[in-house]
Structure 1
């Protein structure tokens, strides 16, 4: 899939200009009090930029050059990596790794275990992996939980939205896993 980073970002800019909240993921992540965050599958940088605005040391990773060009233009002070998340190795860990925006659904089918293992390897001891994604595209919560367990993470919480609405089934979930 090919993206247009500026067009993607323009959608969120329009929502914000109309009074919509485009920072729910960042607010959710900030509630964990992280000093460092990896925005895995950062796209045009919306979440990472908002986290950095609150004094959090952030890095962003995305495989799409157009998305990263937009992110770099909007926040050149943030470290942006153009890499595939499957097999990712930045050589460091973070307090929180966040995958917002259906990230697991954009990896080729069958690579989800490697995706989760790679991003989980960047979660420090006591840190969290937080992911929100749609459940109507073939990747189940049972599969995701299994992949997290295999990567050494324990389930901590699950919500229906980034606003912490209770998860009672449905087509979207925000999952929080912790590295013991």
Structure 2
């Protein structure tokens, strides 16, 4: 594995700079991606049902990127808003979805009041967070969620990480892409005060499958 400085300031800066650089190309790639994936749409619809069952209210899409998932959640009737570390991504999201709210922010220190959201989704946005930072991020998620509020996570399945130096139109990047076993993520969630409700593996025959975990705040 590459020998990289894992300090918070370093990895956060790398992620922010990398996604500012690729924001336009990434948005174009993801624009219609949900239209072609009925399984992802099913997962998001299930999450929307859980939010409604919890009484409805604001839903945070943390690490929202260009806002395509935020848009989908809004189309399902949720009061969804997006938060992303990259100002470039937020600019793209605001331009593409002017009827929705998007704010620059970090999942390591969410500028949201305690218990202020009914639901929270982190859709393939934890993949750049170092292992030793994930428990603190989950504590942030628990803090801002109302008791009983649903949490939905999506991530790559596997072990270790790779260093991504180029992507999305050939632009330079410098980010670690982590792969994790669902059981490990579930254990972090339980330790942070969540109850794990369901687990799914997406594209299990692919080289790098995806995993989805549904949890709720205790």
Q: Do both share a fold (TM > 0.5)?
A: yes
TM-score normalised by structure 2 residue count:
0.69
1:126 is paired with a residue whose SS is coil
CA-CA distance at 1:130 after TM superposition: 0.7
Moved over 6 A (4+): none
String of CA shifts for 1:115-148, please: whole Å, max 9, x gaps: 1111222221111111011122433333322221
Larger radius of gyration: 2
Q: Which runs of 5+ in 2 are unaligned?
A: 1-14, 161-179
Pairing partner for 1:20 from 36, 41, 61: 36
Instruction: Return closer, same or farther for 1:113/1:42 CA change in 2, 3 Å cut-off.
Output: same
1:14 and 1:50 map into 2 onto residues whose CA distance is 11
State which of 90, 93, 100 in structure 1 corresponds to 2:116. 93
Displacement of 1:173? 1.4
Gaps of 5+ in 1: none
RMSD, aligned CA: 2.5
Number of the residue aligned with 2:50: 32
Which of the pair is proportionally richer in helix? 2
Task: Write out per-residue CA displacement over residues 50-96 of structure 1, whole angstroms, 9 at most, x where no aligned residue.
Answer: 22233311121110111111111112232212111012231143222
Q: TM-score, normalising length from structure 1? A: 0.82
Are residues 1:134 and 2:150 paired? Answer: no
Give the corresponding residue for 1:62. Answer: 84
SS in 1 for 2:27: helix
Contact 2:150 2:216 in 1 (8 A): yes
Q: Spell out the pairing of 1:78-89 with structure 2 (5 A cutoff).
A: 78-89=100-111
Separation in 2, partners of 1:15, 1:175:
20
- Secondary structure of the residue aligned to 2:138 is helix
Distance (whole Å) between structure 1 residues aligned to residue 78 and residue 27 of structure 2: 21
2:95: which partner in 1?
73
User: What is the aligned residue count?
Assistant: 171
